[in-house]
């Protein structure tokens, strides 16, 4: 069997920054440092930071008063910051700058009196954070939806935002349906560079191989979308977090296996799987250069300097 290893894959700049911030907080304040929601959606990353003294909790109310808490990369609603203030927590905000950008768009357009539609997956942490920034309607592309302009809203007053980790193709379809009702709606393209690049490479990889294995966690939105885009491109794909999850029958008659991973997957998981598959050859399937790095936001730097 030959393995085609997608590039770029794995950690994005937002994930690297978020993990760095937990480690910096642990170094500066000592354990425990609380993390509100999984710092990124990967159990290996979560258990690594927990082994260093981080404690993951789901709600700000679970953090003891006067503690240090890191807010995860997915972003948080204003109510979380408010409660943190009431509990006298020191908040290290690890929200990805590209998610913050969407929050800022929501606040700006809301102030201008626009009608905001957010295309995103209901219940996902990022959507909880973004929808808390302003009043908006959420359209989940996993559900059938019927959009009607019952309130006679002017279509130029409609703004369409999106979750950063959606499928580029599915979102385009959803946006087209929205445009059928509001032809002049302003469409912000909020799907981030990491999601777009990983999907673009996966589509091309799908035409080269017989099967794609996406390495990553089942609760990771961008990992799930990589599996979806591969299947939509006509190549079967499975989402796995370890070699043990591979079923023998998947590989029967397969000569070329493509491997990729989502933005929250550490590369060591990919290498472990490649090694255990014992391929005849590993071919790097490189398509897009990606050298983006995020600096620590000024506000967080100031807090860490205090």
Nearest residue to the partner ligand SF4, using Cβ: 14
How many CA within 13 A on the CB side of residue 221? 25
Cβ nearer to ligand SF4, comparing 99 with 116: 99
Q: Is 126 a catalytic residue?
A: yes
**Sole window of 58-66, 93-101, 135-143, 272-280 interacting with ligand SF4 (rule: CB under 6 A):** 93-101
Least Cβ distance, residue 70 to ligand SF4 (angstroms): 14
Residues 195, 197, 220, 260: which binds ligand SF4 (CB under 6 A)? 195
Position among 3, 5, 6, 13 found at the interface with ligand SF4 (CB under 6 A): 13
- CA distance linking residue 220 with residue 73, whole number of Å: 12
What 3-state class would DSSP assign to 135? coil
Query: 100 to 159, contacts with ligand SF4 by CB under 6 A?
Result: none
Residue 281 burial (10 A CB sphere; 0-12, 13-18, 19+): exposed
Question: Within 13 Å, how many C-alpha atoms sit on residue 198's CB side?
Answer: 31
Beta carbon of residue 296, minimum distance to ligand SF4 (angstroms, whole number): 14
Q: Which is nearer to ligand SF4, 46 or 194 (CB)?
A: 194
Angle, CA of 60, 164 and 62, to the nearest 5°: 10
- Residues ≥6 apart with Cβ < 8 Å to 203: 229, 230, 233
Beta bridge partners of 42: none
Question: 159 forms bridges with which residues in the sheet?
Answer: 116, 186
Task: Give yes or no for residue 96 binding ligand SF4 (CB under 6 A).
Answer: yes
DSSP run (H or E) holding 7: strand 2-7
One of 138, 159, 194, 226 touching ligand SF4 (CB under 6 A): 194
Under rule CB under 6 A, residue 15 binds ligand SF4: yes
Give the range of 9-17, 60-68, 112-120, 230-238 binding ligand SF4 by CB under 6 A.
Answer: 9-17
Interacting residue with ligand SF4 among 25, 26, 33, 98 (CB under 6 A): 98
Interface pick for ligand SF4 out of 202, 222, 230, 235 (rule CB under 6 A) = 222
Under rule CB under 6 A, residue 164 binds ligand SF4: yes
Residue 267: is the preceding peptide bond cis (ω within 30°)? no
Q: Which of 23, 50, 126, 252 is catalytic?
A: 126
The residues annotated as belonging to the active site are 126
């Amino acid at each position: 069997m030959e393995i085609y290893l997608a590039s770029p894959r794995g950690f994005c700049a937002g994930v690297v920054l978020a993990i760095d911030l937990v480690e910096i907080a642990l170094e500066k304040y000592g354990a425990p440092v609380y993390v509100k929601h999984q710092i990124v959606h990967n159990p290996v990353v979560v258990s690594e930071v927990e082994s260093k003294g981080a404690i993951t909790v789901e709600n700000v109310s679970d953090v003891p008063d006067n503690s240090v808490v890191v807010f995860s990369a997915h972003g948080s609603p204003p109510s979380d910051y408010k409660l943190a203030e009431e509990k006298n927590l020191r908040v290290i905000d690890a929200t990805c700058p590209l998610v913050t950008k969407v929050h800022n768009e929501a606040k700006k357009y809301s102030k201008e009196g626009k009608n905001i539609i957010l295309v995103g997956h209901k219940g996902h942490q990022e959507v909880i954070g973004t929808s808390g920034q302003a009043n908006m309607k959420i359209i989940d592309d996993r559900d059938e939806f019927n959009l009607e302009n019952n309130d006679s809203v002017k279509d130029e007053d409609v703004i369409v935002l999106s979750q950063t980790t959606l499928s580029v193709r599915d979102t385009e379809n959803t946006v087209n349906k929205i445009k059928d009702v509001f032809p002049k709606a302003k469409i912000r393209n909020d799907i981030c560079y990491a999601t777009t690049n990983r999907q673009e490479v996966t589509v091309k990889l799908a035409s080269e191989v017989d099967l794609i294995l996406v390495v990553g966690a089942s609760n990771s939105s961008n990992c799930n979308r990589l599996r979806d885009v591969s299947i939509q491109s006509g190549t079967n794909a499975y989402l796995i977090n370890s070699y043990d999850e591979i079923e023998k029958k998947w590989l029967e008659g397969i000569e070329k296996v493509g491997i990729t991973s989502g933005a929250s997957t550490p590369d060591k998981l990919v290498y472990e799987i490649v090694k255990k598959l014992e391929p005849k050859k590993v071919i790097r399937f490189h398509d897009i250069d990606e050298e983006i790095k995020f600096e620590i936001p000024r506000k967080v730097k100031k807090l860490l300097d205090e």
